[in-house]
A and B are shown apart, each in its own frame.
Chain A
């Protein structure tokens, strides 16, 4: 075993001098122990003493560039890996040009990490200003991942030559006095100032320049990993900004998009024709908006238009609509006196050959379309809403309520209107056998009769 001592973690010159001697000895990488600073724990090992003024060894220039970066890496294996590469290069076992060589690839990767850390330090150091007797002093606390502070201090000199500044790190501290750079011992976080009045303005800027309609948290984390956050004043805002983003965006779109919200059903319907809140408008033939008198006391809300409704532009005209009409007639409810609409106003389907197969709208689509339903409810002001099926009740109440367990019961819409829940008439079209169909039709009729019973009470009011 040969021990090679280096003066510091980033002592490239020391490492190079040792290599000159070690290569001449023909030492193998696995026989060398690299140590930084003074140690006394390896009395029996041979010490490698760099020959004074050793003759330079020829290396490809891109090796020197690579090695200077890799030396700054925090991995203790770096000295040994670099030596192994150097020995292989000299012996002709590897070539710098071979970009796909596993060892070279590994070292290039390490160099990349170092370069990234250097770059992130330039980006994420945050100075705080303190007033001292001899003027203002800008002080930063930073925790780099690799041994890059010495290497990086020249950058801060170029940038902040006219300022007195210090960067404190757990490795070393560097101080610029507007003339010369001084190096000091490792520092602690407590040595740095804890606040700066300008940080409040910076946080204001950070929160205001962020566009909540473009939330991309992963893209942010990729470039600004959490490990850097605790020394950056603005990052304290991130959780709140993310949490409020969706609401702010909805507010941007929904409450403001029609500065003067349409105040009649006719103008609401005219606006809805060019709705592009969600992509469903694309494949659909047309929007199917609600129908019925503006002063209707009863409102029916279905799921979404089907194939025939999409073509006709009217709600509940297909097979389910015919069933619905028949049941209403039996329950003695006059459809022409009720407002009939859907939770989602465009037909969502999957093309299958020549047919268009109904697809259930998802929560996003329901939420987008809720804007229109809300306006319909506000303009019609019904006294009772009948929710037909799961999508309708989800849209009206914002809750996922299983229909079979809750049908026949009363809920409240987000606007505070009483909601009666029953099944969607298309449910009756999908039943397996005649007996079940009969039983379910009876239950549906019973539900509508319960609605009718409530309506009778209105008349007496």
Chain B
């Protein structure tokens, strides 16, 4: 009997993990510090999340990412679990998810749980089940690891309150970059309701931060904030539209992250979707543009400016290099004198290298050799900078600069 129930769980796990793999986020970082030290129990979180394994798709496995059930009353075209799809269906009980999480956690396979679900019966019923898993882990088992709950936008606000009490992160997927795409591909979802729920979460998170500032003992509410996900390549939105949309979401809802998920062919897909391999390189460029805005001081309009005429970021070079090639007048940048903000614009100089340059140049002038030691390849960034013993001269004005500084084709194929 024991043997049989084990087998059933493994079978369900195969189905419900398979159904969860189209969610990009696996982050387990940026939450409150906790440890199991004094009170017993298990689990800790220490700021930086840990990737416990990597799958051959190059993605990190940090959390047990599963669906409670892949049955769903919705019929979203891009989703493998939509009502009209004929995938095998399975459901976990709350206790089964709790046991799996603890068993995996105790063997150091994971940082915690990322639980999502198809909608069964009603939004509230589904959300209650999700919340029960988190409650049981926290209250019955004193579990202090990371919990990320996918939130159902139409569920009652009281349920979202309880979810936030137990979870480190809450997320609601906006799903598609355009309202038109959402109406066409997810007819039962509405942008108003999704954004309404995200707005509600934002207020709860901010209120809670405020309360925690006043009273240290106030219970936390989603200390790792909220995030969302957009599918790239399922509708017609170009990169400029996606970047502007993401920026609007960051601004309005104080999101920690906007995840991009290259639309991936799914078994038994709807016929209205594109028939190609997932646009991984495009997804990669969008993430790079996200970094430019978050860490390199680029305004969204400047990222859009790096796109080509059709609003798409170039695939063969990164958006920072694309921007630099379009704004050659702003270069070369003198590494010994330029403000930090300008150093951050030099293609090939990362934030760490820029910090090292700023620290070092207080004491002495940097030569090209020095820059070489601080970066991966000085060859590609030479045309854009001036050092003690280096000036690019006319290099920057050459018509064939792009091939000189673009990555070689073989390198490009790593991402293909």
Binding site for B on A (CB under 8 A): 95, 97-100, 102, 105, 119, 122-129, 138, 140, 155, 157-163, 178, 196-202, 204-220, 223-224, 232, 234-235, 238, 241-242, 245, 249, 251-253, 256-259, 271, 275-278
Contact = CB atoms under 8 A, between A and B. Distances in A.
A126 B109 contact: yes
A216 B271 contact: no
B10 A213 contact: no
Contacts of B54: 219-220, 223-224
B56 A242 contact: yes
A163 B86 CA distance: 43
B360 A234 contact: no
B135 interface: no
Given A232-B53, A249-B265, 14 more contacts: A97-B360, A100-B374, A158-B35, A201-B10, A204-B10, A208-B15, A211-B59, A214-B280, A215-B56, A216-B56, A223-B51, A245-B56, A253-B276, A276-B275
A36 to B, nearest CB: 30
30 contacts: A97-B360, A99-B359, A100-B373, A119-B50, A123-B51, A123-B53, A125-B108, A126-B108, A138-B106, A155-B44, A159-B35, A159-B43, A159-B44, A161-B36, A161-B42, A162-B42, A198-B103, A198-B104, A201-B10, A201-B100, A206-B55, A210-B21, A214-B57, A216-B414, A216-B415, A219-B58, A220-B58, A238-B56, A252-B265, A276-B276
A204 B277 contact: no
Contacts of A276: 274-276
A328 to B, nearest CB: 34
B13 interface: yes
Contacts of B216: none
B414 A218 contact: yes
Contacts of A206: 53, 55, 61
Given A163-B42, A209-B55, A214-B57, A97 B363 contact: yes
A132 to B, nearest CB: 15
A259 B269 CA distance: 8
Nearest to A158: B35
Nearest to A238: B56
Nearest to A167: B108
Contacts of B103: 198, 201
A223 B60 contact: yes
A320 B412 CA distance: 37
B37 A161 contact: yes
Given A160-B42, A161-B40, A161-B41, A216 B275 contact: no
B203 interface: no
A97 B57 contact: no
Interface string B401-416: 0000000000000110
Interface residues of B, number: 76
A160 B373 contact: no
Contact of B275 (A157, A198, A223, A253): A253
A252 B56 CA distance: 17
Main DSSP-derived SS at the B contact region:
loop
Contacts of A271: 271
A100 B43 contact: no
B20 A209 contact: yes
A214 B104 contact: no
Contact of B17 (A157, A208, A213): A208
A208 B14 contact: yes
B137 interface: no
Interface string B259-301: 0001011111101001111101000000000000000000000
Contacts of A216: 56-59, 280, 414-415
B18 interface: yes
Given A126-B109, A138-B107, A201-B103, A162 B40 contact: yes
Contact of A162 (B15, B22, B142, B262): B142
A275 B271 CA distance: 11
Contacts of A119: 50
A212 B109 CA distance: 21
B360 A98 contact: yes
A161 B142 CA distance: 12
B184 interface: no
Nearest to A279: B276
B378 to A, nearest CB: 12
A234 B46 CA distance: 25
Most buried by B among A212, A214, A258, A275: A214
